[in-house]
Amino acid sequence: MLQTTALAATFCAVAGAGIVGYGETTAQAQTRAQAQSVSSTAARHGHGDGHSFSGTKKIRVGGYSVNVSCSGRSTARKPVVVLMAGGGDGLDTMAGLQKTLSEKARVCSYDRLGEGESDQPNSTQTIDDSSRILTGVLDRVTSDRPVVLAGHSLGGLIAARYAPDHRDRVKGLVLMDATIPALTAGVSKAIPDSATSMAAELRDQTIAVNEGQNPEKFIIADAKVRSAGNIPVQIIRHESQYAEVPDYGPALEEMWAEGQEQWRALSGRSRISVAAGSGHYIHVDRPDIAVKAIQRVTALATAHS
């Protein structure tokens, strides 16, 4: 039973909602010390409002308290990078990435409702609810500056759903193993109703998470990919994740790879790559690849601003 639970937790983390989020994920443990370092260093520079503050603080958005962190300096024309963690994760899992990127750019991250130090949502959330919170955060921490959204897992899906409706603001996207556009349908196909035991549990738990049984009470709905305009988009997927599900691992890997390809419809300037040696937490397993991708997209967005 313990083995089944562990595999279910791993699979649901890849699904982008993270049953493991009810406890501390491996990635969180690896980056918590980095998060504390970033927060303590930034705090010495003081706190303020808008694009000028550095550190971690709470802001009010839509009646909720939302935890945000910003570091680095703004420069003319250069977009602000906004990091978006996966489901079950707080902004601390992005701390190492933020620290590196902020040496050359203005970088912010935030805890979505139900995650980290932000308030719990009052009810079930949809993409529209999450988008309203993101807009409020951007209004406070970036003002009218353009942004590049860099999201992992569920954070990547939210970023990709947000960009088409906010083309005036979002000038680039980096999706790090983003939750695929039609996850429920994909899982149901990869692990059919005839599956039993562990595989059936994995499928059922993932579908339950997608229906809102996750820390954010967020419904991860299947939907087509819409265009976000001709912005630079870098899609990065893991190299290997499903080895512990031998009977259905190949089908799940195919499902995930096909889903990542679907994100290319976001833009005619989309590129996709595989992070060699990486599992689902690309920014932890291969931070060099994540940093390079975000810096490249930011540079392209700056050049076309």
Name the helix (H) or strand (E) containing 39: helix 26-43
Convert the pLDDT of each residue in 145-178 to its tens digit: 999 999 999 999 999 999 999 999 999 999 999 9
In whole angstroms, what is the distance from residue 4 CA to residue 133 CA? 35
In the prediction, which pLDDT does 76 show?
Answer: 77
| Residue 208 pLDDT class (50, 70, 90 cuts) | very high
Tell me, what's the pLDDT at 22? 24
The Cα-based distances of 129 to 121, 133, 182, 219 in angstroms read 10, 7, 19, 10
- Write down the pLDDT at residue 295: 98
pLDDT at 144 over 90: no
Q: What is the pLDDT of residue 147?
A: 97
Mean pLDDT of 38-57: 55
The pLDDT of 80-103, averaged and rounded, is 97
Predicted pLDDT of residue 81: 98
Strand partners, 271: 234
For the chain, how many residues are written?
Answer: 305
Look at residue 2 in the predicted model and tell me its pLDDT: 31
Global confidence as pTM:
0.87
Looking at residue 51, what is its pLDDT? 58
| Mean pLDDT along residues 52-70 | 94
Count the helix, strand and coil residues of the chain and give each as a percent rounded to the nearest 5: 45, 15, 40
Q: Give the least confident one: 184-188, 194-198, 259-263, 295-299.
A: 194-198
pLDDT digits (tens, 9 = 90+) for 234-248: 999 999 988 777 889
pLDDT at 210: 97
**For residue 26, what pLDDT is reported?**
40
pLDDT at 77: 82
C-alpha torsion angle, residues 273, 80, 90, 292 (rounded to 10): 30
Give residue 298's pLDDT band: very low, low, confident or very high (50, 70, 90).
very high
30 phi-psi bin (left φ>0, alpha ψ -120 to 50, beta other): alpha
Q: Is the pLDDT of residue 288 over 60?
A: yes
Token readout for 177 is: 């193993």
Instruction: Name the pLDDT band for 50 (thresholds 50, 70, 90).
Output: low
Predicted confidence (pLDDT) at residue 283 exceeds the cutoff of 60: yes
- In the chain, % of residues over pLDDT 70: 83
How is 235-293 classified by DSSP, letter by letter? EEEES---TT-TTTHHHHHHHHHHHHHHGGGG-TTEEEEEETT--S-HHHH-HHHHHHH
pLDDT at 196: 87
Q: Are 120 and 49 in contact (CB under 8 A)?
A: no
- The Cα 28–Cα 232 span in angstroms is 29
On average, the pLDDT of the chain sits at 86
Tokens of 222: 């299947």
